[in-house]
Amino acid sequence: MNNAITDIPGIRVGQAQDPQALTGCTVILAENGAVCGVDQRGGAPGTRETDLLRPMHLVNAVHAVVLTGGSAFGLDCASGVMRYLEEQKIGFDTGFARVPIVPAAVLYDLGIGSPSRRPDADMGYQAALAASAQPPQQGNFGAGTGATVGKILGPANAMKSGIGTASMEIGGGIKVAAIIAVNAFGDILDPKTQHILAGARTTTIAGVRVGSGDIFADTEAVLRTFAGRAILSFTAGHNTVIGAVATNAKLTNEEANKVAQMAHNGLALTIRPAHTMLDGDTLFALATGKKKADVNLVGAFSVHVVAQAVVNAVLAAAPAGGLPSHSSLAI
């Protein structure tokens, strides 16, 4: 086990990024097909092909999932992944052509780098071409290239985040894993210690110190103040945590949707606050296996790998765009 989503048989991951524009995309390939579910929370989502993942729809397998920066512009990445899969003759057989099924979700990173340079179809193709079963790089790579957290006091007082992955065996030969791009409005906490790892930083606004700590303002503490509530009314939805969990268990479409739903508890454990109207948090769940497992078991442990992937994303991030990261602060 490499503590990565690629520990799941049938899953490969490829990433591509533009380090100057501070944006990128991550492609999770399941070329043999995977049962897939999705659960979207928060008020500002950007997605593609998620309706077909609901129960009672015709398609019961996907061939890739795309996580990308670039806001809604980044959804174009999925077209490049479709082109790659079509070249490999992979897709849903309609009788006339094979149509690759590629759901996608985006995060907003236009404010940190160059807003005119976004992930596109070519970047999606390159990410798919680079896909391998090796552990994906974490931090400032793929969809995590422009990810930031802790934005209640504005982008200048936020911190750099990234993308992270984690996996675990849960018994009976069943594995569960996650990959998460962490671009949250809120702060990131260590679920074991409850200490903030990255988030909004204490600052001075109009001569008034805002924040309860020497380094971190503590977003929830700020929200309890009059100033925090006033600031919130002017805060834009430049956020969203996106990711996927995967398992080698055999799940139905309904069960995959349930796992995606339960996996969101991993965000609630590590992000304060999570699922706000300023976020569009979206998690996919992929099942590649043929070994039957209790959906409650898979869902329960998906929480743990999601939480660990969030923490890993923050710990692996490097400073960028004028923002510090956890690794650059004396915490």
DSSP, residue by residue, 282-295: EEEEEEEEEEE--H
Tokens 């798919």 map to which residue?
Answer: 128
Provide the CA 113 distance to its chain's centre, in angstroms: 19
117 is written with which tokens? 């340079």
Cis peptide before 100 (omega within 30 of 0): no
Task: Please tell me the total count of domains within the chain.
Answer: 1
DSSP 136: P
- How high is the mean pLDDT of the chain? 93
**Count of other CB atoms within 10 angstroms of residue 56:** 6
pLDDT of residue 235: 65
* pLDDT tens-digit map of 218-260: 999 888 887 777 777 666 667 899 999 999 999 999 999 999 9
pLDDT of residue 71: 95
Q: Are 225 and 262 in contact (CB under 8 A)?
A: no
The span from the CA of 112 to the CA of 231, in Å, is 20
User: What is the extent of the structural domain holding 200?
Assistant: 5-328
* pLDDT tens-digit map of 44-68: 889 999 988 988 787 889 999 999 9
* pLDDT tens-digit map of 146-204: 999 999 988 899 999 999 999 999 999 999 999 999 999 999 999 999 999 999 998 87
* pLDDT tens-digit map of 191-215: 999 999 999 998 877 666 776 778 8
The span from the CA of 244 to the CA of 158, in Å, is 25
pTM of the model: 0.95
The span from the CA of 315 to the CA of 121, in Å, is 30
Longest alpha-carbon distance in the chain: 68
CATH of the domain at 246: 3.60.70.12
Report how far apart, in Å, the C-alpha atoms of 6 and of each of 71, 135, 247 are: 26, 6, 10
Burial readout 115-136 (b: 16 or more C-beta within 10 A, e: otherwise): eebbbbbebbbbbbeebeeeeb
* pLDDT tens-digit map of 103-146: 999 999 999 989 999 999 999 999 999 999 999 999 999 999 99
Q: Are 216 and 199 in contact (CB under 8 A)?
A: yes
pLDDT of residue 280: 85
